[in-house]
């Protein structure tokens, strides 16, 4: 079962292997025609081949599977991540059949995804049919999880977790400036311990909010409140938008380091795998922009400022991206709003 919540493109090798498996029945029928001369054998094998192709294409159209796909853990899906449907499968496979006039044509067409952009990796026949081939063992199965964008939408509710600890510290800060106003004369003269009534209340408050937990909550509150002032809105190249309030980690499957605390985990669906699991650390600065730190990513990061200045990011060195900047990470990018 895949643990990666994103879609993962099938490699050229996987496509070739799946295509080879799907071709085995046709090769067997062709061998029979060669070994058994005569018109009857030709008619029977031709009918069997037509029946096999009809079954194969219908299965792929409705379930995104073929024998090769099932064996290799692949799915042929539409660009929205759902079942491709018969028209798309017909276009896709007719192109493969037509390319067979050059003998090696189907195999070249099968691996033509190598020359596409890493974020999509579509073969030429995929582009014509508007289909994708995904690896459901390395990533999620879009047919079972709501399509192509279901995984990308999941991170959006994550920031809602941050305000939860913020509520508790808020009550801890409010009594300082507000509550003492009417009871200010009683607080300073007596150190609480000498006034039975007030002392009991203070003791109850201390018991209900132990010091270690309060410190932890206050620390989180500082991060959240600092980001909640305005925050930064990130608009990604696929149209998705996320507001960063406080600190966030962005990547294919981001996770904080041991002891690290962040407010948001932005799980970015990158089918081309050019984005590292934890690619960027983001710190919202409501007054100036967004602080970007590359977390030692494989494919690097850079910032293009509104005036066109380009700056490559050194690993673990924060750089400010003013509002209007474009941040590139791997083969993807977002704009700071």
Angle between helices 39-63 and 86-98 (to 10 degrees): 140
Q: Which residues pair with 236 in a beta bridge?
A: 334
Taking the C-alpha atoms of residue 56 and residue 84, their distance in angstroms, rounded to an integer, is 13
pLDDT score recorded for residue 41:
92
φ, ψ for residue 315, nearest 5 deg? -60, 135
The predicted structure's pLDDT at residue 149:
65
Per-residue confidence (pLDDT) for residue 47, from 0 to 100: 97
pLDDT tier for residue 202 given thresholds of 50, 70 and 90: very low
User: Has residue 141 got a pLDDT over 50?
Assistant: yes
- Residue 192 pLDDT level (bands cut at 50, 70, 90): very low
Q: Which domains does the chain have, with CATH numbers?
A: 12-141 (no CATH), 162-221 (no CATH), 229-336 (2.60.200.20)
* Helix (H/G/I), strand (E/B), else coil: 151: helix
Q: What is the pLDDT of residue 226?
A: 38
The pTM is what?
Answer: 0.50
Reduced to 3 states (helix: H, G, I; strand: E, B; else coil), residue 265 is: strand
pLDDT recorded at residue 23: 95
- Token digits of residue 20: 């080879």
* Residue 24 banded pLDDT, cuts 50, 70, 90: very high
Who wins on pLDDT, 211 or 5? 5
Please give the pLDDT value at position 244.
92
pLDDT in tens, 167-181: 444 444 444 444 444
Q: What is the pLDDT of residues 244-303, one digit of tens each?
A: 988 999 998 899 988 888 999 998 877 777 899 999 999 987 677 899 999 999 989 999
Alpha carbons 74 and 112: distance in angstroms, whole number: 17
Q: Residue 199: its pLDDT value, please?
A: 43
Predicted confidence at residue 98, as pLDDT, reads 93
Judged against a pLDDT cut of 90, whether residue 92 lies above it is answered with yes
Question: Which of 70-74, 114-118, 189-193, 238-242 is the most confident on average?
Answer: 70-74
Q: Which residues of 159-172 are buried (b: 16+ CB within 10 A; e: fewer)?
A: beebeebbebbeee
């Amino acid at each position: 079962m895949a643990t990666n919540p994103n879609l993962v493109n099938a490699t050229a090798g996987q496509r070739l292997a799946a295509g080879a498996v799907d071709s085995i029945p046709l090769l067997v029928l062709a061998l029979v025609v060669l070994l058994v001369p005569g018109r009857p054998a030709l008619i029977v094998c031709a009918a069997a081949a037509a029946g096999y192709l009809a079954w194969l294409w219908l299965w792929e159209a409705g379930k995104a599977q073929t024998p090769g796909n099932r064996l290799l853990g692949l799915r042929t899906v539409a660009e929205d991540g759902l079942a491709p449907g018969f028209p798309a499968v017909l276009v896709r496979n007719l192109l493969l059949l037509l390319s067979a006039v050059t003998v090696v044509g189907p195999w070249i067409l099968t691996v033509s995804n190598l020359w596409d952009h890493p974020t999509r990796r579509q073969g030429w026949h995929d582009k014509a049919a508007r289909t994708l081939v995904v690896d459901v063992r390395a990533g999620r199965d879009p047919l079972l999880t709501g399509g192509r964008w279901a995984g990308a939408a999941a991170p959006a509710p994550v920031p809602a977790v941050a305000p939860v600890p913020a509520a508790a510290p808020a009550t801890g800060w409010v009594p300082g400036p507000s509550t003492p106003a009417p009871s200010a004369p009683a607080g300073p003269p007596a150190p609480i311990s000498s006034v039975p009534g007030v002392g009991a209340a203070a003791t109850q408050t201390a018991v209900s909010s132990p010091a270690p937990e309060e410190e932890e909550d206050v620390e989180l509150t500082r991060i959240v409140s600092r980001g909640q002032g305005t925050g930064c809105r990130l608009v990604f190249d696929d149209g998705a938008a996320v507001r960063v309030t406080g600190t966030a980690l962005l990547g294919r499957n981001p996770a904080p380091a041991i002891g690290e605390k962040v407010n948001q985990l932005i799980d970015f669906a990158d089918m081309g795998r050019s984005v590292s699991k934890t690619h960027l650390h983001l710190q919202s600065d409501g007054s100036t922009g967004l602080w970007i730190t590359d977390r030692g990513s494989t494919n690097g990061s850079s910032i293009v400022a509104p005036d066109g200045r380009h700056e490559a990011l050194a690993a673990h060195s924060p750089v400010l991206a003013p509002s209007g900047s474009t941040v590139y990470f791997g083969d993807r990018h977002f704009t700071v709003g």
